[in-house]
Amino acid sequence: MTTPPLHRRTVLGTASAGAAALAVACPDGGSAAAAAEAPARRRSPFRHGVASGDPLPHAVLIWTRLTPTAASTPGSGQGPRVAVRWEVATDAAFQRVVRRGTFQTGPARDHTVKVDVTGLEPATWYHYRFRYGAATSPVGRTRTAPAADATPDHVRFGVVSCANLQAGWFSAYRGLAARDDLHAVLHLGDYLYEYGPGQYGYGISDRDIRPHVPAHEMVSLADYRQRHAQYKQDPDLQALHAKYPWIITWDDHEVANDAYRDGAENHNTDLGEGSFLKRRARAHRAYDEWMPVRMDGTARLGDGDRLFRRLRFGRLAEISMLDLRSYRDAQVPFPGPAVSDPDRSITGRQQLDWLKQSLSRGRAQWKIIGNPVMIAPVDFAALPHDLVDPVNDVTGLIPRDGIPYNVDQWDGYTDDRREVFEHIRDHQVTDALFVTGDIHSGWACELPYDASTYPVGDSAGVEFVCSSVTSNNLKDITGTPPHSTSTVVEGIIKANNRHIKYLNFDDHGFSVLDVTPTRAQMDWYVIGDRAERDTPITWSVSYATKTGTGRVEQVSEPV
Amino acid sequence: MSGQIRGDRRTFLKAGAAGLVFSTVAGTPGRADAARSRKRAYVLVIDGCRPDEIDSGLTPHLAALRDGGLRFPQASSMPVMETIPNHVMMMTGLRPDRTGVPANSVYDRALGEVRDMDRPSDIRCDTLIGRLNRRGHTTGTVLSKTYLYGVFGGRATHRWEPSPTLPITEHAPDVFTIDAAITMLEEFDPSLMFVNLGDIDRFGHADLTGTTLRLARRLALADTDLQVQRFLDALEAQGVWEQSIVIVLADHSMDWSTPDKVISLTGPLAADPLLAGNVQIADNGGADLLYWTGPEAQRAAAVGRMRAIARAQDGVLAAYPRTAPWLRLGPEAGDVVVFCKAGWRFSDPDLFANPIPGNHGHPATRSIPFFIGGGHRAVPRRTASSRVARTIDVAPTVAAFFGAGAPRGGYDGRSLL
């Protein structure tokens, strides 16, 4: 999502000083406290945990990173080429190993291991682990997707986005890892942040709860690798990766803030950051190494960086994960008629055609779109500037002069949205469900064909937006108490946008999405203070959409 | 092929204030002797109903029936999304290239005119009705629309002649249709009864507030819901509920357009030198069927021209060659099938030919409600399935229920139970 650009400029001059101190505290990422907690884990060659992802009926990716020598730190380019053994079993004790193999890794791929394990049974829990010499990795658990023609009675996902390590502890990941009722985790982007210490942290003062490594904005390939490594050492993130397969897309911060096809707000050639496209290629390379995703449909490195893809869960649901950064035109500098220019795109032509295929009759019942930025129109024309400005600081949602668009979301590329919604209407596509991150707030929206007359008229579907894991929201950026400024803003937004049924600008946390043939329900869970590692987690609210209706309604309890 | 209506025994029965006329195949035994099986199947077609309308709050009885039985959230009408072809698909389990009935309105090359497919001889294949009759079951049709009564002709053992019908709509209001269905149940108790309720469709067609408030439509929904419940109550009262499956579905959905969103292809086609005078159009509201009437040698070129010209018109969604394998419409559908976008309609031969705001036939009208209730143990309770259900699945479902087998070449649909 959009982060305040002035902020970053202001702190750049102090970043190196803070970084030096922090590098001493935690040379390999993570905090000193975390390091003290798990010395055994840090001595293990598998200190970055294990992960799995992109489940198919007969295949799933498994991942780890090996540290074969002390010098083989992430991004170092040091260390030998080695063989890592892997095993997949139907039981946690590995008495019934069904697949095993050996994977060659080395410094060219930062000693990461990514295996596309095939020959598995649909809708089945598996356990996996890696071995190197006498060392054995932590055991991960994963699950394959149901068979393509299966009719599961439900599928259930954890839903998260926007995890800024500097802004706090990943208690949202902890909350999901404590559950035992999910089938997978959807991550909708901003899995990590590019900023250096002091540039984007906790609250209005940007305090770093856990400073980033390396201690500067990530730009080089080594930077991106080290930052991935730091995040992968977070114990809550490790626990959640080990518990479920993840289905992930990126937003902008995996490369740089407000990225677009050939640039980003936070890419500055005048600061020596060089070519944006080369920087993005480095970021994507590190992402491909460190994330349990199939890029260009494979686990191989270097064969392409197409991330938009589909994952089907029987006849019940199909998830289409979007990439809304790599192909989009630059954001317009200010809201105006250009946001509706049909020559501008947020998806790119190829991906838009692909998305329309995803939204076709005859595919799975629920067409779930993993959508990095909001698609619901948001019109704030009536908001006074005293309220608009702080909202813009955190969300970039409100054009100050009253034109109703956030130019970084689909509102800034309205012709693409028009084409998607018209396609839905022309083909009477039902159960289109957009699940969205990015905006550090919780939303439940209907998707009107004409927002100005709604609720007269029909809805193209529904959008559920999860809050951030840690990244600042409205109260954080304004420094106002919870449910004060934000409550006023939420009320005005909803009054001006009758299709928005729920909005929470105040809380951080995670969501749980449960899908059955009769309805899809999203539960929002919120955490306490991000600065407290053991902060409590509580259920906040739940909304559901009944099949075929394109409407949302509040429900009284979570699944 | 089943027999014609003429020559059958006609029965006049009193139901409430209405007089009901039933035709019965000569020689059919009375009620007590008719039932070869205790099983009963009722297919209720809520003509033109959209699936979301069952959740509108206006149809609580339909919603309860849906939620208590087996429902299919992904259910589809089949091309062309019109009344007659989809009713025929329900009662045959076959696609139009096997039934001979692809649309409501076709250009009859032999007659040289556009006409409704309302003749018994238009159905070129065996029907579920005939299959059950041959196995000793009795069947009944209670069809509110005169063209449906026409196309199914004398096939059923007992037929209600829709009356009184409203002018222009040529359909009997649902209250009379349900009166007839209940009377048929009480008097003849057929194993299979096929019922069409036309109010929601007919009120939808005429609803000038269709693009906004849908006022007339909402009234019809509420009333039809009550009528369906009357019929369900009658099943209980007759003591047949426990032996019954009740299949409720629509034949197609509904879409509305404003007077400025009208497409007429007649003029653009006539302006083309190749096509001028050599094309006929059968207007089906949301779909136009184009027929090449020129020399056979020029057909391929003409199809290309028709498609190109149609696609160039505002409001046209797609123009397919009729031979596209997925359409399976058969030669009666002509050479090119043109669909409009949502919120548009066709009006041919001129812009005044189709003044009605509510239309169907195009892909925007494909979603339908589809659920199975009833007290028979074959019906799952409170179950929803993500499998796709289609109008062609009705016949195989009912046939499987009765153990009535499949036609030569098999069904195009499949049993849902």
Domain ranges of chain B: 9-256+363-402, 262-355
Q: Residue B55: which of A315, A365, A546 has the nearest Cβ? A: A546
Block residue for tokens 């009658």: B234
Choose the final residue of a domain: A144, A161, A182: A144
Residue among B342, B387, B388 whose CB faces A425 most closely: B342
Distance of CA A325 to the CA centre of its chain: 13
> Which structure tokens are listed for A276?
């944006």
- Nearest by CB to A548, from B51, B211, B365: name it: B51
Query: B116: distance to nearest CA of chain A, Å?
Result: 26
**Which among B73, B76, B364 has CB closest to A426?**
B364
Per-residue CA distances from A554 to A443, A522, A543, A558 (Å):
12, 10, 4, 11
SS3 B144: coil
The rounded distance, in Å, linking the Cα atoms of B337 and B329 is 9
Residue A381 CA, distance from chain mean position: 29
Using an 8 Å Cβ cutoff, are A250 and A283 in contact? Answer: no
What global pTM score does this model have?
Answer: 0.92
CB contact under 8 A, B73 and A517: yes
- What local confidence, expressed as pLDDT, does residue A18 receive? 30
Q: Identify the domain boundary among A144, A166, A199.
A: A144
Q: What is the mean pLDDT of residues A368-382?
A: 86
Cβ neighbours of A379 (radius 10 Å): 20
Are A151 and B343 in contact (CB < 8 Å)?
no
A345/chain B closest Cα distance in angstroms: 22
Contacts of A518 in chain B (CB under 8 A): 71, 73, 384
Contacts of residue B343 in chain A, CB cutoff 8 Å? 425
Range of the domain at A186: 5-43+145-555
Length of chain A: 559
Q: How many helices (H) and strands (E) does chain A have?
A: 12, 24
- Residue A491: give its domain's CATH number: 3.60.21.70
Cis amide bond preceding B363, omega within 30:
no
**Calpha distance A62→A142 (Å, rounded):** 9
CATH tag, B9-256+363-402:
3.40.720.10
Give percent of chain A with pLDDT exceeding 70.
Answer: 88
Residue B113 DSSP SS3? strand
What span, in angstroms and rounded, lies between the C-alpha atoms of A349 and A367?
A: 20
User: Would you give the distance in Å from CA B267 to the centre of its chain?
Assistant: 31
Dist. CA B332–CA B100, nearest whole Å: 7
Alpha helical stretches, state H, A180-303: 221-231, 235-243, 276-290
Q: Residue B232 belongs to what H/E stretch?
A: helix B215-238
Indicate the Cα dihedral angle B3, B5, B7, B13, nearest 10°.
130
Q: Which of residues 295-314 of A touch B (CB under 8 A)?
A: 314
Inform me whether the C-beta atom of residue B73 falls under 8 Å from chain A C-beta atoms: yes
Q: Are residues A218 and A175 in the same domain?
A: yes
Q: What pLDDT is attached to residue B23?
A: 85
CA distance B272 to B274: 6
Query: Count of CB contacts below 8 A, A vs B?
Result: 71
CB A185 within 8 A of CB A176: yes
Cβ contact, residue pair A428, B253, below 8 Å: yes
Q: How far apart are CA A1 and CA A257, in angstroms?
A: 7
Q: What is the pLDDT of residue A379?
A: 72
Nearest CA in chain A to B366: A428
Q: Give how far Cα A86 sits from Cα of A295, B6, B308, Å.
A: 21, 78, 57
Instruction: Give contacts of A364 with chain B, Cβ < 8 Å.
Output: 386
The reply to whether residue B73 touches residue A549, judged by beta carbons under 8 angstroms, is no
Largest CA distance in chain A: 67
CB B256 within 8 A of CB B211: yes
Closest alpha carbon within chain A to B316: A426
Partner-chain contact B367 A548, CB within 8 Å: yes
pLDDT tens-digit map of A90-105: 999 999 999 999 999 9
Task: Pick B341's closest partner by Cβ from A426, A453, A517.
Answer: A426
Decide if B62 contacts B68 (C-beta within 8 A).
no
DSSP code of B341? P
Does A36 lie in the same domain as A56?
no
Residues of chain B with pLDDT under 70: 1-8, 13-19, 27, 29-36, 213
List the structure tokens of B211. 């693009």
- For residues A89 and A233, membership in a common domain is answered with no
Task: Give the minimum alpha-carbon distance from B387 to chain A in angstroms, rounded to a whole number.
Answer: 6
Please determine, for residue A374, whether its predicted confidence score (pLDDT) is greater than 70: yes
Residue of A nearest to B343 (CA): A426
Whether residue B37 lies within 8 A of chain A, CB to CB, comes out as no
Of the partner residues B71, B211, B367, the one whose CB lies closest to the CB of residue A430: B367
B388 in contact with A, Cβ within 8 Å: yes
C-beta atoms of A365 and B73 within 8 A: yes
Same domain, A73 and A31: no
Per the CB < 8 A criterion, the answer to whether A446 and A501 are in contact is yes
The CATH architecture that domain B262-355 belongs to is 2-Layer Sandwich (3.30)
Least confident of A130-134, A258-262, B28-32: B28-32
Which of A315, A425, A548 is the closest to B386 by Cβ? A315
Instruction: Give the separation between CA B304 and CA A175, rounded to whole angstroms.
Output: 60
Interface test with B, best of A547, A549, A551, A553 (most B CBs within 10 A): A547
Q: Are B188 and B34 in contact (CB under 8 A)?
A: yes
Residue A399 has pLDDT above 80, yes or no: no
Residue A7: pLDDT over 50: no
Span B37-81, pLDDT tens digits: 799 999 999 999 999 999 999 999 999 999 999 999 999 999 999
Beta bridge partner(s), residue B290: B281, B336
- Taking contacts as CB-CB distances below 8 angstroms, the residues of chain B near A433 are none
Burial (CB count <10 Å: 0-12, 13-18, 19+), residue A385: exposed
What is the model's pLDDT at position B21? Answer: 84
C-alpha torsion sign, points A282, A284, A289, A290: positive
CB contact under 8 A, B385 and A151: yes
Q: Looking at the predicted structure, is the pLDDT value of residue A202 above 70?
A: yes
With an 8 Å Cβ cutoff, are A428 and B364 in contact? yes
Q: Which of B322, B320, B306 is nearest to B272 (CA)?
A: B306
Whether A25 and A111 share a structural domain: no
**Is residue A64 helix, strand or coil?**
strand
| Sign of the dihedral through C-alpha B319, B323, B325, B330 | positive
Mean pLDDT for the stretch of residues A510-518? 98
Q: Which of A144, A171, A192 is the last residue of a domain?
A: A144
**Which ipTM was obtained for this model?**
0.93
Q: Is the pLDDT of residue A17 over 80?
A: no
pLDDT at B204: 76
Mean pLDDT across the stretch A527-546? Answer: 97
For A162, A271, A393, the CA distances from A4, given in Å and listed in that order, are 15, 18, 6
Q: Which of residues 349-368 of B touch A (CB under 8 A)?
A: 362-367
Residue of B nearest to A459 (CA): B52
Say yes or no: A422 contacts chain B, CB-CB below 8 A.
Answer: yes
Chain A contact for B298 (CB, 8 A cutoff): no
Residue B160 β-bridge partners = B22, B142
A250, amino acid identity: W
Query: Is A180 within 8 Å of chain B by CB?
Result: no
Instruction: Summarize pLDDT for A331-346 with one digit per residue, the tens.
Output: 998 777 788 889 999 9
Residues A180 and A213 reside in one and the same domain:
yes
Task: Please give the pLDDT value at position A495.
Answer: 85
Average pLDDT, chain A: 89
* Chain A residues touching B74 at Cβ < 8 A: 315, 361, 365, 430-431
Kindly state whether A385 is in contact with chain B, defined as any CB-CB distance less than 8 angstroms.
no
Which of B261, B386, B387 is the best mutation test for A, with the most CBs of A within 10 A?
A: B386
Element (H, E) at B235: helix B215-238
Q: What is the pLDDT of residues A279-327, one digit of tens each?
A: 999 999 999 999 999 999 999 999 999 999 999 999 999 999 999 999 9
Residue A136 has a pLDDT of 98
Q: Do B387 and A315 touch (CB under 8 A)?
A: yes
Shortest distance between the Cα of B68 and any Cα of chain A, in A, equals 12
Phi and psi torsions of B414, nearest 5°:
-145, 155
For residue A212, is pLDDT > 90?
A: yes
Model pLDDT for residues B232-291, shown as the tens digit of each residue: 999 999 999 999 999 999 999 999 999 999 999 999 999 999 999 999 999 999 999 999
User: What secondary structure letter does DSSP report for B37?
Assistant: S
Which residues in chain B (316-345) have CB-CB distances under 8 A to chain A?
317, 341-343
Confidence of residue A457 (pLDDT cuts 50, 70, 90): confident
**Range 492-521 of A in CB contact (< 8 A) with B:** 516-518
DSSP secondary structure string for all residues of A469-511? SSS--HHHHHTPPTTSHHHHHHHHHHHH-TTEEEEESS--EEE
Interface of B with A in 204-243 (CB under 8 A): 211-213
For residue A152, the chain B residue with the least C-alpha distance is B386
Cβ atoms < 10 Å from Cβ of A300: 13
